[in-house]
A and B are shown apart, each in its own frame.
Chain A
């Protein structure tokens, strides 16, 4: 049982560490340049994965849930791509 608690506390430590690194990058992220934003989002993604796997996972069988979660994430990926492309790619303007 104590192992469980140690695991949760360790993940909490990882989440806090990630938070500190995020803030440091945002406050003084000059060295990372344009990578600062992606780096912060990568840390947030890792934090979310830890929460999902450890805090939300509990004693459930992980695989069906994880597969379902990944499919859920994949469904919104095309929207992100299209929204980004709508902005980033040159517009051709309205057709006649």
Chain B
């Protein structure tokens, strides 16, 4: 008999460490893929007038290289370490929502498969550059279906990231061990808090922009082809996401560098609180600098000046952090192990990237450098130099903990040496090509760019070969390396106090209790804050010692089939949306069945998550995990709808300047119809809070009646909306009529999708209320749904006046 358990473990696991490993392997796979793309187009540029690649092939490879490296490699590589180590570093046994954690990974993988399959969708994949600039992203200039598929893949990836963000923030805020105050968190966990917050507010903005793009490409709306929207609208929406994304890429690796400096100099991190404050300031400022990518777009002079200043301001917190890192080394007993070498290298490369970034913040200099290889050199020094190099340091640092084996230090140092030579040969000469446009696929020998390009390509291959050494080293060592003890480096964070690799629930000695004098462990009892015996994903407390390692090496009790099935359904459905109805129906069917299965699993209590009653939960002591998760999701929705409202304002205000007459109130839309529908939705909000009141009071009939009324009113709202759409279409007000019609359909459409999602959840809620042992047991779920439904109402109170009255 074939033993399928090992395979099933990786398909159905909900354990944070397994998921961390899956993220690690998948992101490295995409790293190799995107790296090969880069080598291919660097080969094209190696010599003048090369004909190795055709222009569209070159454009597709450059686009996919950029998107993969940024969104499917560096961000998930940080997520891999965060998945594996953040729960351990805060003293938790797992993530707050283990199944959602698995879902995030599988959706990430599905999005990557969708992105790569877009090459074969007929006509190739997206070829507009990673910035997806309008109007290159429109059907007129990029008609291939693969482009639309890449757009959908990006939306799926953003959904995965946002779910993951909610999970991490709840985990860090609610599952910290006793005594693990926020200030005691290791710098990596702090870096991941800010990374998560940046993802929470920046990624929904990208989803908004992609919603408009996919609507343009799939449904014929006119956001980026009309003069009211056009390239400037895309630029604002994209870079509002795009610049914070730079810090999403940078912060995890940069934070690891701080922890490595501390560990390998045997010194506490210098000015740790100031570093954390600087990370906070930089994160806030990152939302105020995006238009420095738009200095050449013709926006007003006052905006240029403002963004010039904010961009220069953001260099200050990073300069302080760099100084603090260097001061950490002062007087320390420094050990130049491979992780430390990568940390030092990352800091040096980041400084070069930072200095060249100050050049770009100047409007005058940026005018000269914009769109040249100087910019390519700058951002690779920052993102690859500061971010990815730091993450590679983390990979070597944590390898013994993950595998329980040491890697070859000699090969690690050889990797570092060739890495640094290759990196600097690859990216530094790009600064000398400050007169070569970055978006050309070939050039003439008379330009004189040939020798430098050849040098860059040699550097690229050197850099690529260095990674082979790393892969060989780590693959061999994972199987045959000498055994690692639990703390080979003298690290100070909690992962170094437990075996290598860690047991299933991390802390075999009990609950870690952190104090000024160090860490002690106390036996865990099943007395958890939620009063249950349940463990993550439905396991059972083991003889009152919930933290005792499980005998089942695969953690089978905590498997769930549904995350992978949900992700597969979503991926197939999106693929089918562009490739044909059979796949669309199949994917939708699988997705629907999987969601039902997920809900049934929840009803059996398999997703109960334990909370240590005595753990640190400030500042969210009074919230349950699920309600905090829902609130964090709502905060992300503010960014999503806020960006869409911003797009509305832009189109509306721009219309008189472009000669377009926006329809007057009542001219197209029936105000009273819309007003009536508003009454219906707001009334459903009232019945929803009544449901909560009845649940708390223990009134079963009142609860059921209120939920049914909420469902009926929500459904009536949607039916009404469908009739309204039908009438508008009949009257010739279609998706493509004008920018006014386009924004109407997208805004009311995405709101309608939220209502439909809410109605689906409401059905689950009604079943749960029906099955609950007592009505009061159901009140928690009713509360959480009430938050969501309140948000749906709150969004509509803005949509109604925007779409009907102004």
Contact = CB atoms under 8 A, between A and B. Distances in A.
Interface of A: 1, 4-5, 8-9, 12, 15-16, 18-19, 22-23, 25-27, 37, 40-41, 43-45, 47-48, 51-52, 54-56, 58-61, 63-65, 68-69, 71-73, 75-76, 78-80, 82-96
B246 to A, nearest CB: 16
Given A26-B801, A94-B297, 14 more contacts: A1-B693, A1-B697, A5-B693, A16-B679, A23-B672, A26-B666, A26-B805, A55-B790, A58-B783, A68-B631, A69-B635, A86-B232, A89-B299, A93-B298
B793 interface: yes
A84 to B, nearest CB: 6
A26 B236 contact: no
Given A44-B801, A61-B622, A83-B649, A27 B299 contact: no
B447 interface: no
A40 B303 contact: no
Q: What 7 A-B pairs are tightest by C-beta distance, nearest first?
A: A89-B300, A76-B642, A56-B790, A61-B622, A26-B805, A72-B635, A72-B638
B759 interface: no
B653 A5 contact: no
A69 B628 CA distance: 12
B249 to A, nearest CB: 19
A60 B642 contact: no
B4 to A, nearest CB: 44
Given A56-B790, A64-B620, A87 B805 contact: no
A5 B682 contact: no
Contacts of A47: 794, 797
Given A48-B797, A68-B631, A90 B791 contact: no
Contacts of A65: 623, 631
A56 B783 CA distance: 8
Contacts of B682: 12, 15-16, 19
A95 B296 contact: yes
A95 B783 CA distance: 55
Contact of B806 (A9, A37, A68, A80): A37
Contacts of B654: 87
Interface in B747-806: 783, 786-787, 790-791, 793-794, 797-798, 800-801, 804-806
B50 to A, nearest CB: 31
Nearest to A49: B794
Given A16-B682, A37-B806, A91-B300, A60 B675 contact: no
A69 B635 CA distance: 6
A22 B801 CA distance: 8
B240 A79 contact: yes
B642 A79 contact: yes
Given A19-B679, A51-B793, A52-B790, A87 B653 contact: yes
B302 A85 contact: yes
Interface string B625-646: 0010001101110110011011
A85 B298 CA distance: 12
B472 interface: no
A84 B653 CA distance: 7
B139 interface: no
B801 A79 contact: no
A40 B367 CA distance: 42
Interface SS of B by simple majority = helix
B287 A75 contact: yes
A65 B449 CA distance: 56
Contact of A76 (B232, B643, B697, B804): B643
Contacts of B675: 19, 23
B309 to A, nearest CB: 13
Interface SS of A by simple majority = helix
A71 B290 CA distance: 18
A23 to B, nearest CB: 5
A22 to B, nearest CB: 6
Interface residues of B, number: 74
A64 B619 contact: yes
Contacts of A96: 367
Interface in B637-677: 638-639, 642-643, 645-647, 649-650, 653-654, 657, 665-666, 671-672, 675
B299 A55 contact: no
Contact of B638 (A23, A56, A73, A94): A73
A51 B367 contact: no
A86 B693 contact: no
A91 B793 contact: no
B685 interface: yes
Given A12-B683, A48-B797, A92-B298, A83 B646 contact: yes
A68 B166 CA distance: 13
B690 interface: yes
Contacts of A84: 649-650, 653
Max chain A Cβ within 10 angstroms of own Cβ: one of B205, B678, B783, B790: B790
Contacts of B649: 80, 83-84
B201 interface: yes
B689 interface: yes
B301 interface: yes
Contact of A92 (B288, B301, B642, B801): B301
B686 interface: yes
A19 B635 contact: no
A44 B797 contact: yes
B676 to A, nearest CB: 10
Contacts of A19: 675, 678-679, 682, 800
Given A55-B685, A60-B622, A61-B622, A87 B236 contact: no
Interface string B176-212: 0000000000000000000000000100010000000
A76 B638 contact: yes
Contacts of B798: 41, 44-45, 48
A48 B683 CA distance: 14
A89 B790 contact: no
